[in-house]
Amino acid sequence: MSLASDIEKLNSKTGLRQLVNNETFSIGKTLRYVNYELRLEALQEELIKLQNWVTTNKKKVVIIFEGRDAAGKGGAIRRITEHINPREFRVVALPRPTEEEIGQWYFQRYVNQLPKAGEIVLFDRSWYNRAVVEPVNGFCTEEEYEIFMGQVNAFEKMIVESGVIFIKFYFSISKEEQAKRFEEIKKDPLKKWKFSDVDAKAQELWDVYTDYKKRMFKRTNTKTCPWIIIKANKKGKARLEVIERILDIIPYEPKNEALIKPVVPKVEEVENVD
Ligand code: ADP
Ligand code: MLT
């Protein structure tokens, strides 16, 4: 790739246009952005190889994205799927359960979404709703919560034992960053539809979320299915890191090892975690 063609490509990116048109134009910021875009593109090329390996070898992959509202899960998922074949992956973002689903085993609607051979499924929120969002907002009873917490590790073990490559990410943001993002979302005509009733209470319920989050890590950070924490106050960095982790964990071939950075923070190292 020539520099000219790189720049031409980058020029079409809205982010760069905004930076360059900004009155407070900063060369440092712009270069960081260019750097981010080039790195993202290199990692996305690896993701295409990964997907080919999954398809050719009939592997099954499940990746779940958890974290507080506005942590950037959706944005990271979009960067992962940007260039891969839409026939061979699915993004699952289930709405609140219907009456019929409420009558079923809690995991049932998630089981229905598990991958067929050769498929990658990305869960934007997952069954872990019952570990945090639901008890915090009163959407489930204490008893339902306990039953879930008692079943989830076994459930995930069964998924892994059925031959699924399973990865779980937790996007971690600070209270201030969440507040800032909510303000931006509310102001943006393209984003304000996203601001939900659950979001509206997230700041005031911050500490209750923290409490349930800690309990979730304590009880569900298993050897077979450990949590991978993504420090997500910086969106770009978090997106690159998620892709790096995926490329590192999945044993696809041929892998460009030199491109992938060594693995970093685990649950134990994260602030507030027991
Ligand atoms: P998102 O984070 O995907 O933008 P929300 O902030 O609206 O969505 O809600 C957070 C999560 O809580 C979603 O997974 C949603 O399905 C779930 N949820 C919202 N309301 C309920 C409810 N009444 N019962 C169970 N789950 C709910
Ligand atoms: C995020 O973490 O950003 C979610 O995917 C979307 C949102 O809650 O704004």
Distance between CA atoms of residues 59 and 251, nearest Å: 11
Closest atom, ligand 1, to C-alpha of 96 = 16
Distance between CA atoms of residues 160 and 114, nearest Å: 11
Write the single-letter amino acid at 208.
V
Distance between CA atoms of residues 252 and 262, nearest Å: 16
H or E, element range at 124: strand 119-124
Distance between CA atoms of residues 128 and 171, nearest Å: 13
Among all ligands shown, which has an atom nearest to the Cα of 133?
1
* Shortest-distance Cα residue to atom 6 of ligand 2: 70
The answer, yes or no, to whether residue 225 has pLDDT greater than 70, is yes
Q: Report the half-sphere exposure of 14 (CA within 13 A, side-chain side).
A: 0
For a substitution probing ligand 1, which of 64, 195, 196, 205 has the most ligand atoms within 8 Å of its CB?
196
Of 263, 225, 179, 216, whose CA–CA distance to 63 is shortest? 225
pLDDT digits (tens, 9 = 90+) for 13-48: 667 777 777 777 778 888 888 889 999 999 999 999
Name the CATH topology of 58-249. Rossmann fold (3.40.50)
What's the rounded mean pLDDT across residues 124-133? 98
Least confident of 9-13, 58-62, 206-210, 237-241: 9-13
What's the rounded mean pLDDT across residues 79-108? 95
Among all ligands shown, which has an atom nearest to the Cα of 139?
1
Which of residues 35 and 132 earns the better pLDDT score? 132
Which of residues 15 and 236 earns the better pLDDT score? 236
In degrees rounded to 5, what are phi and psi of residue 115? -75, 150
Which residues' Cβ are closer than 6 Å to ligand 1?
69, 95-97, 125, 129, 133-134, 139, 194, 196, 198-199
- In this prediction, the answer to ipTM > 0.85 reads yes
What pLDDT score was predicted for residue 271? 42
What pLDDT score was predicted for residue 268? 56
* Sequence ranges of the domains in the chain: 58-249
For a substitution probing ligand 1, which of 68, 96, 104 has the most ligand atoms within 8 Å of its CB?
96
Q: Residue 72 C-alpha to ligand 2 middle, in angstroms?
A: 5
